[in-house]
Structure 1
Amino acid sequence: MGCAGSSQTKGDGSVKKIRKPKPWKHTQPITKTQLMQMRDEFWDTAPHYGGRKEIWDALRAAAEADLTLAQAIVDSAGVIVQSADLTICYDERGN
């Protein structure tokens, strides 16, 4: 018998498998250099919006890795994945 609020999970507990996000499109054509600059700016400023730098570093490493390695990074960093494409994630503290 379980808790009143418990639910059945699939074999591996509450771990959500990640997947590649849908392709992103800018409103205007941009060069690869511009795209890389935009990515660097995002990752440089992201910790200022909340959360620990270590978690942001783990998310960046996961975003730049293949899916198997990305899953391992997210799992080992204790990141709680709400959206399988990593657009919504939390750390253990809820940040």
Structure 2
Amino acid sequence: MGCAGSTQSQGDGSVKKIRKPKPWKHTQPITKAELMKLREEFWDTAPHYGGRKEIWDALRAAAEADISLAQAIVDSAGVIVQNTDLTVCYDERGAKYELPKYVLSEPTNFVEEN
């Protein structure tokens, strides 16, 4: 039985399936190295935004995996997916986890490194 508003009990029993984020453009052209630096900085500081470290670790693993593996990771970690592109998620205790698009996919305006 669960609450009528819970993820598992939405009438048909469906759970939100994750998908790749829509194409996006960084504010300025960015190199692969710059993108990787942004990602590392985010993941290094993410636990300081609140929530549980093990959920942050699961979200990082999901962000770096292909879609089918990412789905298995979030399902097994008990992550409640608000936005199907993983930009907004919750844990079972209700803590909110927001992921920037740059950790989930690559921008359309990459430039070659010199």
Where do 5+ consecutive residues of structure 2 fail to align?
A: 96-114
Post-superposition offset of 1:27: 1.2
Post-superposition offset of 1:24: 2.8
d(CA) in 2 for partners of 1:62 and 1:32?
20
Higher helix share: 1
The aligned amino acid for 2:61 is A
> Structure 2-normalised TM-score?
0.72
- Once the two structures are overlaid, the 10-residue window that deviates more, 50-59 or 14-23, is 14-23
d(CA) in 2 for partners of 1:22 and 1:46?
22
Change (3 A) 1:54 1:85: same
Report SS of the residue matched to 1:89.
strand
**Equivalences for 1:1-95 in 2 at 5 Å?**
5=4, 7-9=10-12, 13-95=13-95
The aligned amino acid for 1:8 is G
Post-superposition offset of 1:14: 4.3
> Structure 1-normalised TM-score?
0.86
- The aligned counterpart of 2:101 is none
Post-superposition offset of 1:72: 0.2
Change (3 A) 1:54 1:19: same
- % identical equivalent positions: 80
The aligned amino acid for 2:23 is P
Q: Deviations over 1:42-80 (max 9, x none)?
A: 111111011001000000000110110000000000000
Post-superposition offset of 1:23: 2.3
d(CA) in 2 for partners of 1:94 and 1:65?
24
The number of aligned residues is: 90
The aligned amino acid for 2:40 is D
Report runs of 4+ in structure 1 exceeding 3 Å deviation. Answer: none
- RMSD in angstroms over aligned alpha carbons? 1.9
